[in-house]
Amino acid sequence: MNKEIPISPQEEQAILSWFIHGAKEQASPQKVKDFEGWLHESPVRRALAQRIERIWNHQSFAQALLKIEQASHRERLTSRKTPMRPWYLAIAASLVLVITTTIMYNSNTQRTIKRIYQTEPKQVSRQKLTDGSILDLSATTKVAVSYNERKRRIRLFNGEAQFSVAKDPSRPFVVESRQASIRALGTIFNVDQRYGFTELTVLEGEVVVNPLEQTRKRFVVAAGEMLRITEHSTGAIKTFDLANYKSWIDGYIQVKNQRLSDLLVEFNRFTDTPLTTKGHEIGSLLVSGSFDLKKIDTNIQILAKLHNLKIQHQGSHTVLESSEEQTP
């Protein structure tokens, strides 16, 4: 940061990750309280947080984001020998400057349509974009849409979204998550952004996937296939039954051998009571099934019975933990 706000790189990273990288949206109420307390311990931290919040909600944020991503891409191309930090940290020092510059020089750039869409817990949304594409947002989701004459770009910050892309050969349609850049022409696909990975499901046509931190890898994923990308690795392309597929748009979640903790992330988008597991062993339980998103409490009861778990209500949270063994 500049000299007016002397702050350590570690503090800067924590604050940027909290507001920009989606950590706040995924935090428990207690963690939110703890983080806010940490901010108020220092005027320096509090000042930076306030500036970032103003930037985040500014109408020109998407314009700045576009410039930042372009700069980050150029930096990756010229620094292949050095491990790269995530883009949102690499550009932290110039974030405020970039937004100011964007506002000043907007009249000299090509016309770009930009907008941020966001949903709250239990709220879903359908948006028709200017090119005729359909953007379906799951609950607790945030995206930035940036369109110009050359490219259609969407940044998925957190949550899950389905894209029904209108064909336009002259303008690629690109969705960027924390872990991957996904390029399509005319297709339908779903992107689920979690804290540690991006999961892509293709329902029609095909898309090209470029993992952001695995610059030499490229994947083509077709209808009936899915792919999971983490920061440092990419799983194998898997197939699924497209004819019987149901998603959050249909009001259901279908999983096969998914970690219980990952399933609860999905459930938490559709409930007012956060769900967690106690212990790594419980969170790593593999579960399968089709779950009605309108019946979260029933789903939890079924999971507890199937896996011999105990349901505990702790304050504002519901916790799944191992049942105590019965002594004869």
Q: Given 243, 274, 299, which residue is the final one in a domain?
A: 243
Residues 173 and 194 in one domain: yes
Residues 53 and 127 in one domain: no
The whole-number average pLDDT for the span 115-127 is 92
Residues 46 and 120 in one domain: no
- The string of pLDDT tens digits covering residues 2-12 is 344 466 777 77
Give the span between the Cα atoms of 86 and 107, in whole angstroms.
30
Give the span between the Cα atoms of 121 and 143, in whole angstroms.
15
pLDDT at 104 over 80: no
| 82 exposure class (CB count in 10 Å sphere: 0-12, 13-18, 19+) | exposed
Q: What local confidence, expressed as pLDDT, does residue 183 receive?
A: 95
Residues 145 and 93 in one domain: no
Residues 129 and 212 in one domain: yes
- The string of pLDDT tens digits covering residues 142-201 is 999 999 888 899 999 999 999 999 999 889 999 999 899 999 988 999 999 987 899 999
Residues 97 and 118 in one domain: no
Output the domain CATH number for residue 305. 3.55.50.30
- Which of the residue ranges 203-207, 269-273, 324-328 has the most confident prediction, judged by mean pLDDT? 203-207
Residues 229 and 284 in one domain: no
φ, ψ of residue 115 to 5 degrees: the values are -160, 150
Helix (H/G/I), strand (E/B), else coil: 49: helix
With beta carbons less than 8 A apart as the criterion, state whether 191 and 182 touch: yes
* Domain presence at residue 41: yes
Cross-strand partners of 321: 310
Helix (H/G/I), strand (E/B), else coil: 80: coil
Residue with the larger pLDDT of the pair 57 and 115: 115
Give the span between the Cα atoms of 37 and 271, in whole angstroms.
26
Identity (one letter) of the amino acid at 53? Answer: E
The whole-number average pLDDT for the span 16-37 is 72
Task: For residue 33, count other CB atoms closer than 10 A to its CB.
Answer: 11
Mean pLDDT value across the chain = 79
Percentage of the chain with pLDDT > 90? Answer: 46
Task: For residue 102, count other CB atoms closer than 10 A to its CB.
Answer: 20
Of the candidates 72, 104, 105, which has an alpha carbon nearest to the alpha carbon of residue 90?
72
The one-character DSSP state at 262 is: H
Q: What is the per-residue burial (b if ≥16 Cβ within 10 Å, else e) of 293-323?
A: beebeebbeebeeeeebebeeeeeebbbbee
Residues 124 and 57 in one domain: no
The whole-number average pLDDT for the span 40-64 is 67
* Domain presence at residue 95: yes
Q: Given 187, 218, 243, which residue is the final one in a domain?
A: 243
pLDDT at 300 over 70: yes
* Domain presence at residue 93: yes
Residues 259 and 157 in one domain: no
Of the candidates 166, 160, 159, 156, which has an alpha carbon nearest to the alpha carbon of residue 129?
166
Written as six digits, the tokens of 40 are 């108020």
pTM of the model: 0.64
Q: What local confidence, expressed as pLDDT, does residue 107 receive?
A: 41
Residues 102 and 117 in one domain: no
With beta carbons less than 8 A apart as the criterion, state whether 313 and 304 touch: no
Q: Given 198, 217, 243, which residue is the final one in a domain?
A: 243
pLDDT at 302 over 70: yes
* Domain presence at residue 132: yes
How far CA 277 is from CA of 170, 309, 319, 322, in Å, comes to 48, 10, 5, 9
Q: How many domains does the chain have?
A: 3
* Domain presence at residue 201: yes
Residues 19 and 36 in one domain: yes
Residues 310 and 200 in one domain: no
* Domain presence at residue 1: no
* Domain presence at residue 327: no
pLDDT at 96 over 70: no
Helix (H/G/I), strand (E/B), else coil: 39: helix
- Rg, Å, the chain Cα set: 21
pLDDT at 79 over 60: no
pLDDT at 80 over 90: no
Of the candidates 321, 278, 270, 328, which has an alpha carbon nearest to the alpha carbon of residue 294?
270
Output the domain CATH number for residue 191. 2.60.120.1440
* Domain around 256: 251-322
Of the candidates 243, 238, 143, 225, which has an alpha carbon nearest to the alpha carbon of residue 187?
225
Q: What local confidence, expressed as pLDDT, does residue 65 receive?
A: 53
Helix (H/G/I), strand (E/B), else coil: 246: coil
* Domain presence at residue 3: no
Give the span between the Cα atoms of 177 and 234, in whole angstroms.
14
Q: What local confidence, expressed as pLDDT, does residue 60 receive?
A: 54
Task: For residue 325, count other CB atoms closer than 10 A to its CB.
Answer: 7
